[in-house]
Amino acid sequence: MPLTQCDTVHTLMPDSPSSFTIVDVPGAVPLMGHISTFRQRPLESLSEWWRHHGDVLRFRLGPKTFYLLSHPDLAEEILVKQSERFVKVYNPEKPHGLALVLGNGLVTSSGEVWKRHRRIIQPIFHRSRMAAMADRMAQVGEQRLAAWKGREGDTIDIAAEMMQLALEVISQTMFTTSMTQYTDRVSHALQVSIKYAFDSFSNPLSPPLWVPTARNREFRSVMRFMDGLMYGLLAERRQSGTHHDDLLDLLLQARDEETGEGLSDQELRDEALTIFAAGHETTANALAWTWYLLATHPGAEARFHEEVDRVLQGRTPNAEDLDRLPYTRAIFEESLRLYPPAPAVHRKATTTTTVGGLSLPEGAFVLVGTYNLHRHPDFWTNPDQFFPERWLDGGRPRSRYAYMPFGAGPRTCVGLHFASVEGPLLLALIGRRYDLQLAQEKVEPYLMVTLRPKGGLKMRLQPRRVPVGAVH
C-alpha cells in the first residue's frame, strides 16, 4: 500500500486546459430541461452525469442554463483566478434560494457589502481564538454526553444529535447563549426553510413567495420564528449592556470607517442568522457522515479508538491535543472528501468569459462539482474508498483544487479553522466514551443545500469498555 493515495496521475490530466469540451446532458425536456431528474435525485444527477459524460457538462433547469465543472483546473479558474467575474448568484432586490433565508449575509452577499462584512466577521475566527473556542466546544460536548447517559444502549438518530450538538456549540461560542430550549423549533425551522430555499433553486418554476400556497405560508411562519429569535438575541445583548468578546459584540460594535455608522438591524439579523445556520448545519452533517464511515470500517474505528485512548487517557480533549490526534484529524478530512457537506459551489458569470479554453456566456450559472472533484479518478487512488491513511504524513492531493470542502478563493469558508478544530475535537470527545454502531440497513446521501443522510442516521449508543491499561 503506498504511503499516500493522493498522488495525481499526471499522464491522465489534460495537457492544457484548452482540451476541455462541453457536453450537453441528454434527456432535456422542452421548457423544463432537466428539472424533473435533478429535483428527484440532485446528488445522483450531478455525480452520475459527471461519471457518464465528463468534466464539463451543460444542463437546464427550466429557463436557466447551468455548467457543471468537475476538474480542479476549472475550479481554480472560477473560484480563484477569475473570482471577480464569477460571483454569487443572489440579488438582494429579488431574493431566491438561500437568500430567502439568509438575506444579504456573508454567504449570500456580494461586492462592497460582502467585503466590509467579511472584514468585520473574520477576526472572530482568528487562529489565536481557537484554543478558548475549543474549551467552550468541549464543555458543550461534555454536557451533551451527560444527557446521553440515560440513553446508553438505545438507538438514536445521530444526525439529529449532531445537529443539536453543533447548534449549541455555535450558540455558545458565537452568541454566548444557549439554544437548548429552542432546539426542536430551530431544527424544524431550518429544515423547512432550507428545503424551501433548495426547491426555489432547483425548480425556478416554483410559485413565488407572495402566492399564498400552504408551503409559502409555512415558510413565512418559520422565518417569523427565526427572525424573532435573532432580533431577540440582539435586543437582549443591547439591553444587558454586557460584553462577551463574541461575534455578537463584534457585530454590534462594528462601525463604518468612513461614515462611522453601525450595521442596521436587518444587516445584524442577516449576519447572525448566517453564522448560526452556516456554522452548524455543515459541521453536523460532516460529523454524522464520519460516524457512519467509522461504523462501517472497523479497522479505521479500532485505530481511532486506540489513538483517542492513548492520547487523552480518558480526559476531555483540548485544542493542544489535536496535534497529537493525527489519525482523528485524517478521519475527519477523509469524511469531508467522501461526503463534502457542500457538494457543489454555485456562481454566475457577470460577462462572457473564457475558462479552460471554453467560452461561457454572460449570465451562465456555474456549479463547481466539489463532490465529483473529491472522487475524481485522475487525482485520487481508489477515490471511492474510505482510507484516512491517505492524509497521514502530509499526504495531500497533487492538485490543490481536487480537495476543497471549504471552497476556494476569496469566498473560502470563514469558519474553516473553527470547523477544523470542532470536528476532530468532538469526534475524540465522543469516541473516547462511545462506540456508535449502525442500526439501519440502508444509508443514502441526500442533497438539500448541504449533504445529509436521508431520513436521519440511526445508531446504537454503545458505551465503550476501554481496555485495562489503555487509560491510566
Give the footprint of ligand HEM on this chain (CB under 6 A): 106-107, 118, 170, 274-275, 278-279, 282-283, 286, 341-342, 345, 405-407, 411, 413-415, 418-419, 423
- Give the residue with the Cβ less far from ligand HEM, 301 or 333: 333
Query: Residue 103 Cβ, how far from ligand HEM at the closest point, in Å?
Result: 13
Beta strands 365-368; 345-349: pairing state: antiparallel
Query: Residue 345 Cβ, how far from ligand HEM at the closest point, in Å?
Result: 5
- Give the residue with the Cβ less far from ligand HEM, 37 or 274: 274
Assess contact for 26 and 60: CB atoms under 8 A: no
Q: How many of the other CB atoms lie within 10 Å of CB of 22?
A: 14
Per DSSP, what are the bridge partners of residue 157?
Answer: 458
Residue written as grid cell 457518464: 52
Query: Residue 217 Cβ, how far from ligand HEM at the closest point, in Å?
Result: 29
- Give the residue with the Cβ less far from ligand HEM, 37 or 99: 99
The beta strands (E) that lie in 378-457 are given as 434-438, 445-448, 450-453
Q: Which residue is nearest to ligand HEM (CB)?
A: 415
User: Terminus-to-terminus CA distance in the chain, angstroms?
Assistant: 34
| Cα distances (Å, whole numbers) of residue 228 to 39, 98, 124, 222 | 31, 19, 24, 10
Query: Residue 69 Cβ, how far from ligand HEM at the closest point, in Å?
Result: 14
- Distance between CA atoms of 252 and 271, rounded to whole angstroms? 11
Beta strands 64-69; 365-368: pairing state: parallel
Query: Residue 3 Cβ, how far from ligand HEM at the closest point, in Å?
Result: 26
Query: Residue 274 Cβ, how far from ligand HEM at the closest point, in Å?
Result: 5
Buried b (16+ CB within 10 A) or exposed e, 70-95: bbbbbbbbbbbebbebbebbbeeeeb
- Give the residue with the Cβ less far from ligand HEM, 37 or 46: 46
- Give the residue with the Cβ less far from ligand HEM, 166 or 309: 166
- Give the residue with the Cβ less far from ligand HEM, 37 or 370: 370
Residue written as grid cell 443522510: 453
